[in-house]
């Protein structure tokens, strides 16, 4: 027979409270901590030559983190931050930049920066982008569902100069098309857009044709920095279109901030097909009439 007394019951209750407090503290402790931890938060090197540095990544959590460290070049403006793979990104070498970090583990990662003798001081901020992800679970679901995996990144600037600006600049290199168009017959207008900026640009183009009547044809495209993009737009005059028309190509762009559209223009003449048919009819009728047999004149002279 089990003996129970008030002292024993009190002890059990105290033990239960203690265990509950311990569990509660451990739960709070887990929710309290942040994600990836990286130090230091920036590097600054002066001048050309070889430089070395070291960053430390820590995982204070209970999940294993998958870490990658990637060198990049920073372009930024007030709102946007771009991470590019060229320029100063190619000066940075990271040793062993991909690994897993177990809970409670820290790791130091070394890197070198080789700055060339001639470099653009106004576009010389690189970065070590430290990315932390964890394994996503599997999902068994019918119907439509969405899985958003999450990753956190710490961007550690590596300064050798100033950060580059985001420069957006497109211009129309050429705009060609027919000078005379017949009604109901399609005409092709070709244009080439050149990207003089330092970022990839998406654009929408509108061919606006104005004259006796107006019409518009839309198109779109994308062009890398330093590249040219050629496009062809087709417009077919309607049955009522006629006369002198203006064809304007309007290219709108501006991925990071609004930009003034670039425009080019040319003039063409539209000859309606019914006019041609009418002219042909007139000519035909005139021709046929001109071929009628002549009735010879008969002169009658009466002599006394």
Partner 1 sequence: MGVRSLLAVLILSVVLTVTSFSPVFGAASPSATQQLEAEVEPTIAIGAFWANGANNSTIYLLDLLADNQEYSWDGGASGEQVKHSSNVAIDLYVRAAGDLTNGSNTIPLSNLKYADYGASVAKTAFTTSYVRVRENWPAPSQGNELTIPVDLYLLVPFATPPGNYTTTVYHAAVQTGGTAPTSP
Stretch that binds partner 1, among 17-25, 77-85, 88-96, 264-272 (CB under 8 A): 77-85
Pick from 53, 105, 155, 259 the residue near partner 1 by CB under 8 A: 155
* The only residue of 10, 13, 14, 62 in contact with partner 1, by rule CB under 8 A: 62
Note whether 60 and 32 are within 8 A (CB): no
With CB under 8 A as the contact rule, the residue among 20, 26, 46, 230 that binds partner 1 is: 46
159 contributes a contact to partner 1 by CB under 8 A = yes
H/E/C letters for each residue in 195-253? Answer: ECCCCCEEEEEEEEEECCCEEEEEEEEEECCCCEEEEEEEECCCCCCCEEEEEEEEEEE
User: Which one of residues 1, 28, 117, 146 is an interface residue with partner 1 (CB under 8 A)?
Assistant: 146
Counting contacts by CB under 8 A, is residue 157 touching partner 1? yes
> How far apart are alpha carbons 212 and 5 in whole angstroms?
106
Task: Check residue 265 for interaction with partner 1 (CB under 8 A).
Answer: no
Classified as helix, coil or strand, 31 is helix
Q: Does residue 145 interact with partner 1 by CB under 8 A?
A: yes
Single residue of 2, 7, 117, 142 touching partner 1 by CB under 8 A: 142
Q: Is 267 in the site for partner 1 (CB under 8 A)?
A: no
What's the rounded Cα separation, in Å, for the pair 246 and 209? 6
> Token pair for residue 250?
């309007």
32, 38, 44, 45: CA torsion to nearest 10: 170
Query: Closest separation between CB of residue 108 and partner 1, Å?
Result: 12
Query: What is the SS3 assignment for 285?
Result: helix
**Residues 108 and 56: beta-carbon distance below 8 Å:** yes
In which element (H, E) is residue 174 found? strand 170-176
* CB of 271 vs partner 1, minimal distance in Å: 43
Stretch that binds partner 1, among 158-166, 189-197, 202-210, 245-253 (CB under 8 A): 158-166
Asked if 35 interacts with partner 1 (CB under 8 A), we say yes
Classify 70 as helix, strand or coil: strand
Q: Is 161 in the site for partner 1 (CB under 8 A)?
A: yes
By the rule CB under 8 A, 149 interacts with partner 1:
yes
What is the closest distance, in whole angstroms, from the C-beta atom of residue 100 to partner 1 in the complex?
13
DSSP 95-128: SS-EEEE-TT-EEEEEEEEEE-SS--GGG-EEEE
21 near partner 1 (CB under 8 A) = no
76 is a contact residue toward partner 1 (CB under 8 A): yes
> Mask 105-134, x = binds partner 1 (CB under 8 A)?
--------------------x-x-x-xxxx
Report the first-to-last Cα separation within the chain, whole angstroms: 177
Q: Which helix (H) or strand (E) holds 69?
A: strand 65-76
Give contact residues for partner 1 (rule: CB under 8 A): 31-42, 44, 46, 56, 60-63, 65, 74, 76, 78-83, 125, 127, 129, 131-134, 136-137, 139, 141-157, 159, 161-163, 256
């Amino acid at each position: 027979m089990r003996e129970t007394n008030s002292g024993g019951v009190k002890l059990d209750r105290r033990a239960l409270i203690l265990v509950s407090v311990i569990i509660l503290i451990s739960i709070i402790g887990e929710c309290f901590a942040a994600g990836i931890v990286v130090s230091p938060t920036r590097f600054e090197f002066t001048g050309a030559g070889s430089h070395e540095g070291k960053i430390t990544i820590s995982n204070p959590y209970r999940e294993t983190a998958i870490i990658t460290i990637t060198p990049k070049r920073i372009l930024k403006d007030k709102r946007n931050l771009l991470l590019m793979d060229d320029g100063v990104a190619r000066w940075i070498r990271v040793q062993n930049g991909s690994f897993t970090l177990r809970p409670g583990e820290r790791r130091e990662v070394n890197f070198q920066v080789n700055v060339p003798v001639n470099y653009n001081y106004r576009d010389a901020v690189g970065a070590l982008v430290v990315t932390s992800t964890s394994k996503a679970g599997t999902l068994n679901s019918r119907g439509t569902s969405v899985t958003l995996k999450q990753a956190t990144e710490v961007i550690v600037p590596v300064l050798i100069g100033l950060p580059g600006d985001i420069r957006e600049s497109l211009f129309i290199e050429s705009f060609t098309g027919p000078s005379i168009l017949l009604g109901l017959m399609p005409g092709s207008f070709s244009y080439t857009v050149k990207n003089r900026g330092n970022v990839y640009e998406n654009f929408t183009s509108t061919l606006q044709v104005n004259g006796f009547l107006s019409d518009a044809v839309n198109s779109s495209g994308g062009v890398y920095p330093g590249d040219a993009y050629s496009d062809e737009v087709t417009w077919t005059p309607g049955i009522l279109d006629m006369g002198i028309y203006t064809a304007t190509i309007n290219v709108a762009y501006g991925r990071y901030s609004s930009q003034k559209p670039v425009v080019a223009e040319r003039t063409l003449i539209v000859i309606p097909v019914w006019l041609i048919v009418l002219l042909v009819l007139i000519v035909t009728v005139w021709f046929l009439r001109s071929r009628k047999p002549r009735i010879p004149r008969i002169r009658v002279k009466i002599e006394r």
